[in-house]
């Protein structure tokens, strides 16, 4: 029994700590056996590992100073790959796959794998999977680590890196999409611009050759390597004599130069009920009701009967419709650039992937699918890739800025417009786009 406990504790230690302990043990053993060495009092000291009830207070180590063990296997996702086929290729059996899927319920990262993403596998001495890492890019990884014989825990790493602002501008010749890509905008950025102004202009019909666009964006890099992540700070589109504009304010929302919101307000609760009973709130330190382990609860659970209409919390596009063995049937909606909502344990769907939805649209019926303790809706809100408490988060709830915010916003608009003007002057003089 004691050996089993020690084995579990040994597995719970981080890999680099295990390396250090093993290295120290080898050094101690070598010193004792080396000719001419002195063993004080001829006593042997046993290294005692702590029991499960003892907290492990290990010193902080600098990752750069400790050699990192390379993975046993590394694989880049290809078109047509399935999770089960990839896992089978690297001897991860179905039982292990479901243990990882159980841990994945907190982040649902495995459902988002796309060609180009990398998987890294670490195995123990017996060839058993100890650690799995998904590298979406150099700024975001998800790590699954074995903590017990049949239990994995998940950790999502999001690196802030460095953000540099730059301007992209050009003239419309053909469509905004083609002209924007020619100037250097990504498909995701152009889709966001389209959503910002979809109530203001029909891009397919109203744009004319010679119309201009200006975009100020911040671009992320880590160690001078671009991650592919960006954030739109401001947009101006000159459509004949009309100007469309959008500015990202400090509250995380976009407004035009008058301070009017370009997104309709969010619903705090995605149900046709003003005060449904919350059976489990947002809690990053929650004890799971089924496993009893400490695991984050990244959403809010509403105790509602099966078949209750579930509403879109805001305007957006349905990006995922999945059936997960633990999250059950679920929907993901992207709202602009930085907001994402998820709806889990559904009974049935009313929308399809790629469909645009408006605030208040019925997107599904609540259910009890996946691993669940009873009928309910699990609702999550993510801002910039991180889960937040949807019942308290700062989300668009009003149609315009209040008087106290307008002075700050006016200064922001002036600063952004100055950057645009400087960029245009620099381009006219042949200096290229400005960066700061």
Instruction: Name the DSSP letter for residue 419.
Output: H
Q: State the Cα–Cα distance between residues 158 and 285, nearest whole angstrom.
A: 19
Cβ–Cβ under 8 Å, residues 278 and 302: yes
- Note whether 327 and 178 are same-domain residues: no
Instruction: Calculate ∠ Cα 227-232-238, nearest 5°.
Output: 135
Pair 294, 366 in one domain: yes
CB 371 within 8 A of CB 365: no
The C-alpha atoms of residue 179 and residue 239 are separated, in whole angstroms, by 14
Residues 368 and 296 in one domain: yes
* Domain match, 246 and 175 both: yes
Task: Compute the distance between CA of residue 193 and CA of residue 214 in angstroms, rounded to an integer.
Answer: 11
Give how far the C-alpha of residue 96 lies from the chain's centroid of Cα atoms, to the nearest Å: 24
* 394 part of a folded domain: no
Residue 125 lies in a domain: yes
Q: How many CB atoms lie within 10 A of CB 150?
A: 11
Which residues form the domain of 349?
278-388
pLDDT at 261: 87
Together in a domain, 110 and 180: no
- From residue 324, alpha-carbon distances to 131, 195, 329 in Å are 21, 29, 6
Give every CB contact of residue 365 below 8 A, 6+ residues apart in sequence. 306, 307, 308, 309, 310, 346, 347, 348, 350
In a domain, residue 22? The reply is: no
Question: Residue 181 falls within a domain, yes or no?
Answer: yes
Provide the pLDDT for residue 289. Answer: 63
Answer for the pair 112, 382: CB distance below 8 angstroms, yes or no. no
Residues of the chain with pLDDT under 50: 1-9, 16, 20, 22-67, 432-436
Q: Are residues 384 and 410 in the same domain?
A: no
- The burial of 383, by beta-carbon neighbours within 10 Å (0-12 exposed, 13-18 middle, 19 or more buried), is given as middle
Residue 188 lies in a domain: yes
Same domain, 219 and 138: no
The domain that holds 341 is classified in CATH as 2.70.70.10
Helix or strand holding residue 412 (H, E): helix 403-428
Angle at the Cα of 129 from the Cα atoms of 124 and 134, rounded to 5 degrees: 120
Please check whether residues 336 and 355 belong to one and the same domain. yes
With vertex at residue 311, the alpha carbon angle to CA 374 and CA 376, rounded to the nearest 5 degrees, is 5
Whether residue 344 lies inside any domain: the answer is yes
- Whether residues 415 and 331 share a domain: the answer is no
Residue in 85, 171, 134, 382 with CA at minimum distance from that of residue 180: 171
Report angle CA 26, 29, 33 to the nearest 5 degrees. Answer: 135
Domain count, the chain: 3
> Does one domain contain both 409 and 379?
no
Q: Structure pTM?
A: 0.70
Residue that the structure tokens 């208040």 belong to:
360
The position carrying tokens 């907001």 is 339
Domain boundary among 99, 132, 158: 158
Same domain flag for 119 and 187: no
DSSP string computed for 296-364? -B-SEEE---TT-EEE-SSSEEEEEEEEETTTEEEEEEEETTTEEEEEEEEEEES--TT-EE-TT-EEE
For residue 59, tell me if it sits in a domain.
no
Residue 355 gets the label, from left (phi > 0), alpha (psi -120 to 50) or beta, of beta
Q: Looking at the domain assignment, is residue 212 inside a domain?
A: yes
d(CA 26, CA 217): 53
Domain holding 253: CATH number?
3.10.450.350
Structure tokens at 247: 């500015």
What is d(CA 180, CA 171) in angstroms, rounded to the nearest whole number?
A: 9
74 and 148 fall within a common domain: yes
Task: Note the pLDDT of residue 402.
Answer: 84
């Amino acid at each position: 029994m004691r050996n089993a406990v020690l084995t579990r504790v040994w597995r719970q230690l981080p890999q680099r700590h295990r390396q250090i302990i093993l290295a120290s043990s080898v050094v101690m053993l070598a010193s004792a056996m080396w000719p001419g060495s002195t063993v004080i009092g001829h006593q042997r000291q046993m290294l005692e590992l702590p029991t499960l009830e003892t907290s492990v207070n290990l010193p902080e180590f600098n990752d750069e100073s400790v050699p990192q063990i390379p993975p046993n296997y590394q694989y880049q996702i290809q078109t047509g790959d399935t999770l089960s086929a990839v896992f089978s290729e690297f001897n991860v059996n179905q039982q292990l796959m479901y243990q990882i899927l159980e841990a994945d319920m907190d982040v649902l990262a495995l459902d988002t794998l796309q060609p180009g993403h990398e998987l890294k596998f670490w195995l123990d001495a017996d060839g058993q999977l100890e650690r799995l890492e998904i590298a979406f890019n150099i700024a975001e990884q998800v790590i699954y680590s074995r903590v017990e014989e049949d239990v994995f825990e998940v950790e999502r790493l999001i690196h802030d890196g460095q953000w540099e602002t730059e301007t992209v501008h050009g003239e419309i010749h053909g469509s905004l999409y083609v002209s924007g890509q020619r100037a250097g905008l990504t498909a995701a950025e152009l889709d966001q611009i389209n959503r910002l102004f979809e109530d203001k202009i029909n891009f397919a019909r109203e744009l004319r050759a010679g119309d201009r666009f200006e975009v100020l964006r911040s671009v992320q890099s880590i160690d001078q390597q671009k991650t592919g992540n960006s954030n739109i700070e401001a947009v101006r589109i000159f459509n004949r004599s009309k100007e469309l504009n959008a500015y990202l304010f400090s509250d995380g929302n976009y407004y035009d130069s008058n301070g009017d919101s370009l997104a309709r307000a969010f619903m705090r609760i995605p149900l046709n009920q003003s005060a449904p009973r919350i059976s489990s709130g947002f809690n990053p330190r929650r004890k799971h009701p089924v496993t009893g382990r400490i695991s984050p609860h990244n959403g809010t659970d509403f105790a509602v009967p099966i078949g209750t209409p579930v509403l879109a919390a805001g305007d957006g596009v349905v990006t995922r419709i999945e059936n997960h063995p633990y999250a059950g049937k679920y929907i993901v909606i992207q709202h602009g650039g930085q907001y994402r909502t998820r709806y889990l344990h559904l009974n049935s769907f009313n929308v399809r992937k790629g469909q645009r939805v408006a605030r208040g649209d019925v997107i599904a019926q609540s259910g009890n699918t996946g691993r669940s303790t009873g009928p309910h809706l699990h609702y999550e809100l993510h801002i910039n890739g991180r889960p937040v408490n949807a019942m308290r988060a700062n989300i668009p709830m009003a149609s315009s800025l209040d008087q106290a915010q307008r002075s700050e916003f006016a200064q922001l608009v002036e600063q952004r417009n100055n950057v645009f003007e400087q960029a245009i002057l620099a381009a006219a003089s042949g200096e290229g786009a400005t960066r700061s």
